[in-house]
């Protein structure tokens, strides 16, 4: 199936990673008893069923800043109590105490960053600019606390780390905590720590400015259509979505609107026969953050790169890439580069074949053009139809958003015994959101799943998963709350929302992240769910994509929205035969972004002009002129809206190597619903979080280390037998 990179985190991974606790419903740790001067529902433990739920109905945005001041004060008190403890440092009074600290702040972050990602309107952008630097400063105050680090070091150096007193998960937790503090500057002197804090605070401001600039360009550039004659080639479902988008904007410029988001741009470029309009839509989308106006991101990027390089040197690392990759599976940039460059030339060769096929059709039609980036999707569909007699317009009537949501849940029941029940009466942050209780095979509550599927003003584009509360079991079990978020355009009232095949893959991918959280069975919150290495976290989500195309799902849930008939077998056969079609485009547009990311962060402390660097580096790599990076540098939220995926965008390919190899276990068993294989996937991958080394978890499931040839087979690329 087509591989499309997606994101697991909200817009500001920075803030989510700052505290050391889960989004718990329970009280603060000992030492945090000081009464907060500001009283707000935002600061209180979550109440209600299922261990408590976020009180979205009580949120007042004008309380956020004061609430953060109070919550940071509370968290600081928690940390001080741990650092000042006169008892000898041990696992419980230091490491576990840190796991319990900052509960109030964690809950507040969970709610605010949903607003920042899903409801970024009104005062929220300005509040975000105030809050994020505060969180950065607070994080530094923790990592730079000498007494706290001394206690952590004592536990790290204790005999219990070697004599079997600690179990594997405890040893990993101590080891990760100690090394994280080292990487965050715990051993720097006081002047170096002050300098580091200045860097981190400045970066926090720049990250926020970057993401808000991209959001402004997504909101500001709408392509309007007034004349029906300009709708040539577009299927009815796309036209209906464009009409709905226009209505949402009060039809300010016409009866149909193409918004500046991927979910709107992609189908228009795929089907519109209006080439000049395709070019306009394409330029609007790929120029986000790069229009030379007040929302231009190039100066911000240059400053981010400069600070990151200086910070890495201050912390004792060669480059930002070396610093970021130390805790990953790949460990060093060279390992990631080797995998990417193993695939890159094969993808380029495939692109040349794809372009030749498209150019031939354009020539046959007398178009008198050379294939340009705004032509690629349009002519790729023509080639697909010619080669495989497959028109995805024939597939779309069978892909109803609601039915595919049911399909995801059904597959999770078959594989992991999870059951989903829609709830009413639970507070939500927007009427579009639905809430589901999740129970296991024995009827035991394991978590809540929130689904926010539709686009709206102030919601960042794309699709992502986040959690509001991590699973834990430090005495009293606390269940997780996870969410999936996407940007489908609503149809007319009463009509089902029809989505593309790629969008359906995205749904299953993001639901895989949610399942990773829901299946978690760990003691400590910082090890649970998706809290795993950056280049491992996409593995559970990518493997979940495979269940979309299983006969069991398609026969029961891919039904025609008018007749209720299941998708015909001959159409399924065509989809299967075309499974590796257009992999040149998909791989090159992704890898170009991943390679630019890595090369930017390996460049060190040289001054960088982002546009020039992008242009010259792509030329050196032999980037085809017919394709543009999936995420051009000025709009690359993954790497410039936080440190989250910086020098880490390669991780989708790294994880997909694991995915391709793991999927073959199911294929060898004869079915993707093999109970024994599914149990092994649950036991070794989905439930264990970061309690074991990810490479060991994969070995336990696969029986050996990863074979990267499976990745080439999945994408239909030739394998060099050596």
CA distances from 408 to 398, 403, 416 (A): 15, 9, 12
Three-class DSSP category at 184: coil
Give the integer Cα–Cα distance in Å for 609 and 593: 16
Please state the φ and ψ torsions of residue 75, each to the nearest 5 degrees. Answer: -65, -40
Burial (CB count within 10 angstroms: exposed 0-12, middle 13-18, buried 19+), residue 612: exposed
**β-strands 480-488, 464-469 pairing:** antiparallel
| Strands 472-474 and 476-478, sheet pairing | antiparallel
Reduce the DSSP state of residue 466 to 3 states and report it.
Answer: strand
The angle that helices 583-602 and 298-314 make with each other, rounded to 10 degrees, is 60
Q: What CA–CA distance (Å, rounded) separates 644 from 14?
A: 7
Give, in order, the Cα–Cα distances in Å from 243 to each of 236, 263, 394, 455, 717: 10, 14, 21, 14, 40
Distance, CA of 646 to CA of 634 (rounded, Å) = 14
Task: Write the CA distances from 618 to 298, 623, 637, 641, integer angstroms.
Answer: 17, 5, 19, 22
Buried b (16+ CB within 10 A) or exposed e, 95-126: bbbbbbbbbbbbbbbbbbbbbbbbbbeeebbe
What are the two backbone dihedrals, phi and then psi, of residue 32, each rounded to the nearest 5 degrees? -110, 30
Token digits for 139? 């994080």
Question: Which tokens in the block code for residue 121?
Answer: 């309107």
Active site residue 510: yes
- Residues 170 and 182: their CA atoms lie apart, in Å, by 18
User: Where would I find the H helices in 490-582?
Assistant: 501-518, 538-544, 551-557, 569-577
470 φ, ψ to 5°?
-85, 150
Tell me which of 109, 381, 472, 510 is the catalytic residue. 510
Q: What is the dihedral of CA 407, 411, 413, 414, to 10 degrees?
A: 140
Q: Which residues are catalytic?
A: 510
């Amino acid at each position: 199936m087509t591989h499309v990179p997606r994101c697991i985190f909200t817009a500001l991974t920075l803030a989510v990673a700052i505290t050391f606790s889960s989004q718990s419903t329970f009280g603060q740790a000992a030492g945090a008893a000081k009464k907060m001067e500001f009283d707000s529902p935002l600061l209180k433990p979550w109440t209600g069923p299922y261990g408590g739920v976020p009180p979205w109905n009580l949120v007042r945005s004008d309380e956020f800043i004061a609430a953060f001041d109070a919550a940071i004060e509370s968290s600081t008190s928690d940390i001080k109590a741990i650092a000042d403890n006169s008892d000898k440092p041990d696992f419980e009074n230091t490491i576990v105490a840190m796991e319990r600290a900052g509960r109030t702040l964690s809950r507040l972050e969970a709610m605010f960053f949903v607003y920042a990602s899903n409801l970024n309107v009104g005062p929220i952008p300005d509040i975000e600019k105030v809050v994020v630097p505060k969180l950065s400063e607070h994080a530094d105050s923790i990592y730079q606390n000498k007494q706290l680090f001394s206690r952590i070091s004592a536990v790290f150096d204790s005999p219990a780390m070697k004599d079997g007193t600690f179990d594997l998960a405890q040893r990993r937790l101590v080891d990760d905590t100690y090394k994280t503090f080292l990487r965050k500057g715990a051993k720097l002197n006081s002047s170096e720590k002050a300098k580091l804090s200045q860097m981190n605070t400045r970066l926090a401001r720049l990250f926020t400015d970057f993401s808000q600039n991209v959001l402004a360009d997504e909101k500001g550039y709408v392509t309007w259509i007034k004349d029906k004659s300009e709708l040539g080639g577009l299927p009815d479902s796309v036209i209906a979505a464009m009409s709905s988008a226009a209505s949402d904007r009060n039809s300010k410029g016409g009866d149909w609107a193409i918004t500046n988001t991927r979910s709107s741009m992609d189908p228009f470029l795929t089907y519109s026969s209006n080439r000049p309009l395709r070019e306009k839509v394409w330029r609007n989308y790929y120029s986000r953050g790069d229009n030379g106006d007040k929302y231009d991101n190039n100066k911000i990027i240059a400053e981010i790169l400069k600070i990151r390089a200086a910070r890495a040197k201050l912390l004792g690392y060669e480059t930002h890439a070396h610093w970021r990759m130390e805790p990953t599976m790949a460990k060093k940039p060279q390992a990631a580069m080797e995998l990417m460059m193993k695939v890159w030339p094969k993808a380029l060769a495939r692109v040349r074949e794809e372009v030749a096929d498209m150019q031939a059709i354009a020539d046959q039609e007398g178009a008198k053009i050379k294939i340009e980036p705004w032509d690629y999707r349009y002519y790729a569909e023509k080639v697909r139809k010619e080669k495989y007699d497959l028109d995805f317009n024939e597939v779309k009537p069978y892909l109803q958003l609601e039915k595919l949501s049911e399909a995801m849940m059904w597959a999770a029941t078959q594989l992991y015994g999870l059951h989903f029940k829609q709830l009413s009466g639970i507070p939500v942050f927007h009427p579009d959101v639905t809430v589901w209780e999740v129970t296991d095979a024995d009827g035991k509550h394991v978590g809540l799943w929130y689904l926010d599927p539709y686009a709206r003003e102030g919601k960042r584009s794309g699709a992502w998963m986040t959690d509001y509360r991590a699973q834990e079991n430090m005495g009293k079990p606390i269940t997780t709350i996870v969410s999936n978020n996407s940007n489908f355009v609503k149809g007319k009232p009463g009509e089902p929302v029809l989505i593309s095949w790629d969008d359906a893959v995205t749904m299953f991918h993001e639901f895989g992240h949610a399942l990773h959280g829901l299946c978690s069975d760990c003691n400590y919150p910082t090890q649970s769910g998706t809290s795993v290495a950056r280049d491992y976290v996409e593995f559970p989500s990518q493997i979940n994509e495979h269940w979309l195309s299983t006969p069991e799902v398609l026969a029961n849930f891919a039904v025609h929205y008018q007749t209720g008939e299941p998708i015909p077998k001959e159409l399924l056969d065509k989809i299967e035969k075309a499974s590796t079609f257009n992999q040149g485009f998909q791989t090159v547009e992704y890898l170009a972004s991943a390679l630019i990311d890595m090369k930017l962060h390996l460049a060190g402390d040289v001054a960088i002009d982002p546009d020039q660097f992008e242009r010259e580096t792509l030329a050196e790599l032999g980037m085809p002129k017919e394709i543009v990076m999936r995420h051009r540098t000025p709009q690359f939220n993954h790497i410039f809206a936080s440190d989250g995926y910086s020098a880490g965008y390669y991780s989708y390919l790294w994880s997909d190597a694991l995915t391709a190899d793991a999927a073959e276990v199911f294929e060898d068993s004869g079915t993707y619903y093999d109970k024994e294989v599914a149990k092994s996937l649950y036991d070794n991958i989905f439930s264990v979080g970061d309690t074991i080394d990810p490479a060991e978890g994969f070995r336990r499931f696969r029986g050996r280390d990863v074979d990267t040839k499976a990745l080439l087979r999945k994408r239909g690329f030739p394998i060099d037998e050596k």
